[in-house]
Amino acid sequence: MYVVLAVCGWLSIYSASHDFNNPDVSIFDFNTLAGKQFVWIVTSFVVIVFILLIDYKLFNSLFVNFAYLGIMLLLIVTIFIGEPIKGSRSWIDLGFMSVQPAELAKLITALAVARFIDMRGRIDGWKDYFSLSLLLFIPFIIVIFQNETGTALVFAAFVLVFYREGMSGLVLLLGVFAIILFIALVRFDFWLPEGAVLLECGNVQLNEYEIVSLKTATGKIGDLGKLIAMVLILIAQFFYTLFSHKGSKISSWIMLGGMIAIALTAYVLNFWFTVRYDYVALIAIGATVVYWAAVALVKRSKKLRGLILFILSAVAFSYAVDYVFDEVLLSHQRVRIEVLLNMTEDLSGAGYNVHQSKIAIGSGGLLGQGFLQGTQTKLNYVPEQVTDFIFCTVGEEFGFVGTTLILLLYLTFLLRLLHIAERQRDTFSRVYGYGVVSVFFCHIMINIGMIIGLMPVIGIPLPFFSYGGSSLWTFTAMLFILLRLDASRNERLR
């Protein structure tokens, strides 16, 4: 399966970089991108042989600790000596080739996480979670400083490993909830006009020009984004206590009744003077905090204390989003998020890549235009078509059928990796296996999601398809270290 994916990627790179004016250029021409990729593929087999000959004990030894420290130092050094490429400093020019240490950091981090959990036996308490989070946060923040947001996000994928090792699914739900809050706060970041009531807002046509006018309106009854976020927090705590906390069902309904009473009061008062609905919702949340604190004191419930912490954290997060979006994110990152959320089109700027990729994939139809016949990629309408947007070539030349087959191939590949990870008989190999699955899944999901407009455009390669030696070697090493561990799983029990 590895060979099939690598060869399909190689052919896609040849097709994406094929020139109609020079149709006779060989796929093995080392002056072309396809020829160079062939070299990476051949040398990757050297990596495979080297890994298979290594004693498996090396992968779970003190060597991993030194390797982790070494790659972190290299990542920091790269910030200062790295070759600037499209705004990022993540590449080191060795003269005969360029390498990206952040790719190797994924492999080393996967080994470090697996070794830590194996040494602990299992994840036990917040101290272990803090240590594991620190292992991920260090490379994450360093790569962020390299201006490689896409690569940094991959380190967050290791949270899926923690879930397999016993972390509560509630943590994943909190992550999803944070994403929903972020989207609501960014997408609906405008003011409600004076005199409007909540039930009438659905009739207002909020196009780009009207949103600007609402922001500058003199009479304001609330930030719609903040209002939606506060309401979502109220709804979340109601359903949590209703279904997840025994003995709090009556308290949940009492809370809901109080919130409805506050909302109706605000609605009535708005007929006489302007009421800030987002402030009303914030006051309602404050009332729920006091209410749950009283209930927790009476029932001595630790879960309700956790709920109070969630509420306060969610409110703080909601009010921090504006600052992060406006002051922390770079301008091109803000525009990409705005394009994704359909706040602006910007077809000649940040939205150009996705717009052209959709055209390329759509032009493939059911069966595609045929190998080497895609016009969008051959005429260079699709930017980064041999790296981040390589999947456009598959869609344009092989259509819906071709892309479906590749996606099924990836699905089979991931399921096979899950099977291998699950059958491991020791903690280290199992955790490492799930780390590998998490990294591959993250790359595939984000890369394909961004070219069809479901994810923001970030620089992240498609495994075995995108052009580049650093990513190919890293993916190859991650995969075959797992296979080396799997081959010795019976030996480790002797």
pLDDT in tens, 65-97: 999 999 999 999 988 887 777 667 888 877 777
Reduced 3-state DSSP string for 43-83:
HHHHHHHHHHHCCHHHHHCHHHHHHHHHHHHHHHHHHHHCE
Residues 193 and 150 reside in one and the same domain: no
Residues 62 and 162 reside in one and the same domain: yes
Asked if 457 and 355 count as a contact pair (C-beta separation under 8 A), the reply is: no
- Residue 160: DSSP 8-state: H
CA distances from 360 to 368, 382, 391 (A): 10, 8, 10
Rounded to 5°, angle at Cα 265 from 259 and 267 = 105
Residues 10 and 139 reside in one and the same domain: yes
Residues 33 and 151 reside in one and the same domain: yes
Residue 493 pLDDT more than 60? no
**Domain for residue 269, yes or no?**
yes
CA dihedral 477, 478, 484, 486 (to 10 degrees): -160
Phi, psi of 356, deg, nearest 5: -70, -35
Report how far residue 407's alpha carbon sits from residue 398's, in angstroms, rounded to the nearest whole number: 13
**Domain for residue 177, yes or no?**
no
**Domain for residue 414, yes or no?**
yes
Residue 273 pLDDT more than 70? yes
**Domain for residue 271, yes or no?**
yes
Residues 283 and 160 reside in one and the same domain: no
**Domain for residue 340, yes or no?**
no
| Burial class (CB within 10 angstroms; exposed 0-12, middle 13-18, buried 19+) of 150 | buried
Query: Which whole number is the average pLDDT over 84-112?
Result: 84
Query: What is the count of structural domains for the chain?
Result: 2
**Domain for residue 335, yes or no?**
no
Q: Which residues contact 119 (CB under 8 A, 6 or more apart)?
A: none
Residues 39 and 129 reside in one and the same domain: yes
Residue from 470, 457, 481 nearest 153 by CA: 457
Q: Which residues contact 456 (CB under 8 A, 6 or more apart)?
A: 333, 336, 337, 339, 340, 450
| Burial class (CB within 10 angstroms; exposed 0-12, middle 13-18, buried 19+) of 239 | exposed
| SS3 state at 465 | coil
Residues 325 and 397 reside in one and the same domain: no
Q: How many alpha carbons lie under 13 Å from residue 68 in its C-beta half-sphere? A: 21
Structural domain for 28, as ranges? 2-167+352-493
Residues 216 and 146 reside in one and the same domain: no
Q: Note the pLDDT tens digit of each residue in 50-59.
A: 999 988 889 8
Asked if 390 and 13 count as a contact pair (C-beta separation under 8 A), the reply is: yes
pLDDT cut 90: percent of the chain above it: 26
Which run of H or of E encompasses 128?
A: helix 126-145
Residues 308 and 436 reside in one and the same domain: no
Torsion-angle region of 121 (φ positive above 0: left; ψ -120 to 50: alpha; else: beta): left
- pLDDT value, residue 122: 75
- Tokens 């409600």: give the residue: 192
Residues 146 and 198 reside in one and the same domain: no
- pLDDT value, residue 348: 61
Residue 404 pLDDT more than 50? yes
Among 70-79, 172-181, 195-204, 385-394, the range of highest mean pLDDT = 70-79
Among 52-56, 124-128, 372-376, the range of highest mean pLDDT = 52-56
CA distances from 156 to 141, 265, 493 (A): 11, 43, 32
**Domain for residue 178, yes or no?**
no
Rounded to the nearest integer, the mean pLDDT of the chain is: 82
Residue 130 pLDDT more than 60? yes
- pLDDT value, residue 268: 84
Which of 314, 329, 344 terminates a domain? The answer is 329
